[in-house]
Amino acid sequence: MKTRITELLGVKYPIIQGGMAWVAENHLAAAVSEAGGLGLIGGANAPGEVIRDYIRKVKEVTEKPFGVNVMLMSPYADDVAKVVVEEGVKVVTTGAGNPEKYMDLWKSAGIRVIPVVASVALAKRMEKYGADAVVAEGTESGGHIGEATTMTLVPQVVDTVSIPVIAAGGIGDGRGLAASFMLGAEAVQMGTRFLVAKECIVHQNYKDRVLKAKDIDSSVTGRSHGHPVRCLRNQMTREYVKLENEGKSFEELEYLTLGALRKAVQEGDVTMGTVMAGQIAGMVSKEQTCKEIIEEIMAQAETLLNVGKGV
Ligand code: TUI
């Protein structure tokens, strides 16, 4: 299934793994890339040197292309932005902000730059600033989210820009990939399905929570503060949303989320930790290797897309 994205990135399959904070480290990124997708290291809130170490570790185990996601709200974003250039990373995606100030630096280093956008306006602006492609991420996603759904955002971005569009948010199987292609996307980005990959280092409690999740098990914290984050419902989200509804400020609620993602990912605290996952969690029901996940999705999507061609 060749598209402008598989050509641009030099990958076999049009599948990109989301650069999930604390989750997408060297093991997951390397496994996805080895399996023919594009693995991403999630920059998250980590210092540049931590990301440098991950980059070197991925290079030790695969010669396939991989990328780094720069989380723009991170206090270390400037630092990570330089590290990707120094380490010769080929692909950078960005999240949770506008990466304009880094575009010249990255483009002159020959990096393929793919901002994640949650609106048509930002997609248009990114194209103007030289982005090679955009990820149009719907509100079904886990983590930091925008308002528009994938179904509405992707075709509107496709209609607006000429660069290729990657769909994200609520995609977890071959049907999601095929549907994204119908909307005009040329690849998909998936996070939640890779959370339960055998190579993914998240705590087993986190994986089990995702595997047991039902369709309506996610909740959005921080809407009233302009920092909406989708995660699976637990004691933390219930307390957060209750206090938010009582009008508590972002600063007053920070104690609930500080370090909470690390608590869930590393310590397996799925009661008071932040269990970021997308709405597709209800459909993720088995642990597989990255290779199994990617090959299963591709086989299913190819069958579905060929039906339309009368094969
Ligand atoms: O970035 C993500 N998802 C993330 S980042 C993250 S780490 C985090 N942890 C706790 C609190 C906050 C973040 C977890 N998940 N997805 C890409 C994404 N970008 N979704 C939405 C956006 C976005 C939203 C508004 C991008 C740009 C934007 O506006 C920029 C502008 O200036 O217009």
What pTM does this model have? 0.97
Ligand 1 mean position, distance from CA 20 (Å): 11
Average pLDDT over residues 157-163: 98
> What tens digit of pLDDT does each residue of 43-86 get?
999 999 999 999 999 999 999 999 999 999 999 999 999 999 99
Q: Is any ligand 1 atom within 6 A of the Cβ of residue 145? A: yes
Res 310: pLDDT? 63
**Bridge partners (DSSP) listed for residue 92:** 68, 113
Res 257: pLDDT? 87
Q: Is any ligand 1 atom within 6 A of the Cβ of residue 126? A: no
Q: Answer whether residue 311 shows pLDDT above 90.
A: no
Q: Is any ligand 1 atom within 6 A of the Cβ of residue 146? A: yes
User: If you write DSSP's letter for every residue of 67-133 in order, what string do you get?
Assistant: EEEEETTSTTHHHHHHHHHHTT-SEEEEESS--HHHHHHHHHTT-EEEEEESSHHHHHHHHHTT-S-
Q: At 210, which amino acid appears? A: V
Eight-state DSSP code of residue 97: S
Average pLDDT over residues 252-276: 94
Q: Is any ligand 1 atom within 6 A of the Cβ of residue 197? A: no
Name the phi and psi angles at 13, rounded to 5: -115, 150
